[in-house]
Chain A
Amino acid sequence: MERKEKLWFALLILIAVTFNAVTLSPLIPWQEWRLWSHPTPEKRFFIEMEDYEIRLPEQGIEVNAGEFVEFVVTSKDVTYGFGVFRPDGTIVFQMQVLPGWENKFLWKFDHPGTYSIRSTEYSGPRHPEMFLKDAIRVKS
């Protein structure tokens, strides 16, 4: 290996190590609880998906800003996605919903407001209909 190749290779390794270290660290806020602290959720919400429908708990979803909540989502037919979106349409978080499995996601909402739920995985031609506006209410 020539000197120039060694230098280039070292630079590539430096970029790879730095990027991975930064993105595994709590600098990305949710990495703190997803990878490192694993807190016990204060609330747990069970959500079912079937036949293009998102079925929320009867009492709805209401959480306090700053508390840890867990979403447990199941599907009775095909793979869906579970995505939470801000009012401006940007994504807060999402996960895949595999049938036959409990799909769990731990989250902490920092800001009060209302959030929408959308299926983030294609599940058939009616997939775009799977949208619940203002389905989550976060109180201060």
Chain B
Amino acid sequence: MAQLGFLEKWTLRFAVVGLLFLALSGLEGVLMRIDLVNEEALLGLQGALNVIRPLGQGASPAEYFYATLTAHPIVGIYGFAYMAIMGAFYFLVPFLLKKEIRFKKLVPVNFFLQIAGVLICWAAGFFLLFNGLYTLYWPLPVSFDRVPVAGTAMFGFGLLLIEINILIFVFNLFATVLRRSNPSPGYSLRRYLMEAFGLSRLVRFLLRKEKSEDDLRYEEMPVFIVAVGRGSIDTVINAFVLLTAGALLVIYAVPALAAGLYLNPQAIDPLIYKNWFWWGLDMVADGNVLMYTAGTWYLLVPLLVGRKLYGESVVRTVILADLLISLGVWSHHLLADQPQPAFLRLLSGQFITWGEFLTMGLTIFAVMMTIWLARPVKFTPPLKFIMGSIFSFAVGGVAGVFQANYGLNVVAHNTQLIVGPHAHTMLLGGLAMLIFAVIYALIPMLTKIEIPNSRWVDVHLWGWLLGAFGMTSAMGWAGNLGMLRRTLYPDGAYQPEMVVALISSLLMAIAFASFLINIIRSLGWRNVLSLFIPQGRQVSPSPPSVT
């Protein structure tokens, strides 16, 4: 393996830990699938685990299930996806701009704080059985007759840590982009934000101004960097809103825990809270995930097929349209809340949400046209996974806008239709496959070791894709039959669908194992372990690599 530089090493560390969190999140997912087939199947395992978690004694299967359900998305999103994004962006942003990262010391800070925050949230579920779910619908997480107070406090602290860390990460990204460094120019914050929002183009169009030299300089900024800037704005809003949610948990839980002082949960209106929370939370789902994803497609696809991005000017305009859309879609999560004004449910919940169909439709078209016009194309491992992610985003996105509907939501809200064909198709098919593509693309860039386009890759690709679609289709069919999300059915209802979902999730586990085996075979165990062992303590130098 080539001698790794500072950022290369940290990028790989972020990736390895991110994959470990994916494994943990996947294990939790499989355990919950088993619960949904037979809720008593895991009682023996839970009993054995109670040796290391005293508070688990006497808990019901439902308490274990909901604690796992609370930890699962935190580990998956903040453990896997954010760790992978941090690692990739910490390498790609300086690489593309040809400058150093602005604050190098913040890179390991981000690494350890993210791990700590995720593990604290996970531990709140595993050890203290915190079961408030990631939605944290007010006042459930501070209703201490049904949610353990210590768990709420711990989860709140973990969430605070994660969100503060994300703000630090975005600060470092922005500082790097804006940094003036020879020979690379610096950018002003105002102009970068205008570019990220697509406002420069709008202003020029409205004022019918010619492009100045400065405009041209900003237009030469890679689309990926513009998309990262745009996605990071959503990330900041999301982090700030969730920071307030975490702070509320701590404010309510700590006095109760320390002094038996129970603050009045009714001091906060649940509808206003829900609007605020979903407005912020949706900045991840409908803002930064889509923008970071689009940005990564814009970067990788031209590199992999050797052709300029098709329709780049349209792509930059789409970024402006997405400003309005991601800020205005949150009410699709409140379509079933009757006190929410109907005009908001229609305007924000349905019509603006459909804007994503247009922006993502144009994005996917630009990427697919780039690949089409570059024929003949060699389907390398990253390109195969990019195709999988595009297909999944298309399917999951269309499912999402169909469900974000004032009429259909009456029968679809909170059913497995939402969490299967939409959410998990987007996350497991769209986002995870994109992250796999990035890993396949970055490893040769970072280590000079090629990942062979072998059967291992095909097992990974098809196992993951078929597993993800098998699982989400089974969930969708169960939803069609009336199965709710977040609900354990003690009478074994919907068992056939849940058995199919379980088998499909195991297929994904096999695919993931194939991926790990392939990566470790290619890199070598010693090289992987050497990422985490200080150089002075390594037993012997890495063996020469075979490319």
Q: Which residues on A are within 8 Å of B, measured CB to CB?
A: 1-2, 4-5, 8-9, 12-13, 15-16, 19-20, 23-24, 28, 30-31, 34-35, 51, 77-79, 81, 83, 85-86, 88-96, 98-105, 118, 120-128
Contacts and interface: CB of A to CB of B under 8 A. Distances in A.
Interface string B257-285: 00000000010011100100000000000
A98 B488 contact: no
Contacts of B63: 125
A124 B488 contact: no
Q: Interface on chain A toward B: helix, strand, loop, or mixed SS?
A: mixed
Contact of B146 (A5, A120, A121, A123): A123
A15 B397 CA distance: 14
A94 B481 contact: no
Interface of B: 60, 62-63, 65-66, 131, 133, 135, 137-140, 143, 145-147, 266, 269-271, 274, 311, 313-314, 334, 336-339, 350-351, 354, 357-358, 361-362, 365-366, 369, 402, 405-408, 410-411, 413-415, 480-484, 486-490, 493
Contacts of A13: 358
Contacts of B481: 88-90
Contact of B407 (A31, A83, A91, A126): A31
Contact of A124 (B143, B313, B402, B405): B143
B314 A95 contact: no
A126 B271 contact: no
A96 B336 contact: yes
B62 A96 contact: no
A107 to B, nearest CB: 9
Given A5-B362, A20-B351, A96-B337, A81 B137 contact: no
A54 to B, nearest CB: 15
A120 B485 CA distance: 8
Contacts of A100: 266, 269-271
A91 B415 CA distance: 9
Contacts of B313: 1
A91 B487 contact: no
A128 B62 contact: yes
B331 to A, nearest CB: 13
A92 B482 CA distance: 9
Residue among A15, A28, A85, A124 with most chain B CB within 10 A:
A124
A30 B410 contact: yes
Q: Is the interface of B mostly helix, strand, loop or mixed?
A: loop
B407 A122 contact: no
Contact of A94 (B146, B357, B410): B410
Contact of A81 (B140, B358, B414): B414
Cβ-closest 9 pairs across A and B: A124-B146, A122-B486, A28-B407, A89-B482, A101-B339, A12-B361, A90-B482, A125-B62, A125-B63
B410 A98 contact: no
A4 B200 CA distance: 26
Contact of A24 (B402, B407, B490): B407
Contacts of A8: 361-362, 365
B484 A98 contact: no
A125 B407 contact: no
B414 A94 contact: yes
Contacts of B66: 122, 124-125, 127
B114 to A, nearest CB: 27
Given A16-B354, A28-B408, A78-B137, A125 B336 contact: no
Contacts of A122: 66, 133, 135, 137, 140, 486-487
Contacts of A121: 137, 414, 486
A23 B362 contact: no
B408 A128 contact: no
Contacts of A77: 139, 143
A98 B270 contact: yes
Contacts of A2: 311
A126 B358 contact: no
A12 B311 contact: no
Nearest to B487: A128
B146 A125 contact: yes
15 contacts: A2-B311, A8-B365, A9-B361, A12-B358, A20-B354, A23-B408, A79-B138, A81-B336, A93-B411, A96-B413, A101-B270, A103-B337, A122-B133, A122-B135, A127-B486
Interface centre among B147, B269, B365, B410 (most CB of A within 10 A): B410
Contact of B143 (A1, A78, A91, A98): A78
Contacts of B147: 124
Q: Which residue, A94, A100, A102, A125, has most C-beta atoms of chain B within 10 A?
A: A125
B146 A126 contact: yes
Nearest to A29: B407
Contacts of A94: 336, 410-411, 413-414
Nearest to B369: A4
A15 B357 contact: yes
A98 B351 contact: no
A20 B404 CA distance: 10
A96 B333 CA distance: 11
A103 to B, nearest CB: 5
Nearest to A15: B357
Contacts of A92: 411
A72 to B, nearest CB: 10
A20 B65 CA distance: 38
A5 B407 contact: no
Given A12-B362, A100-B269, A127 B487 contact: yes
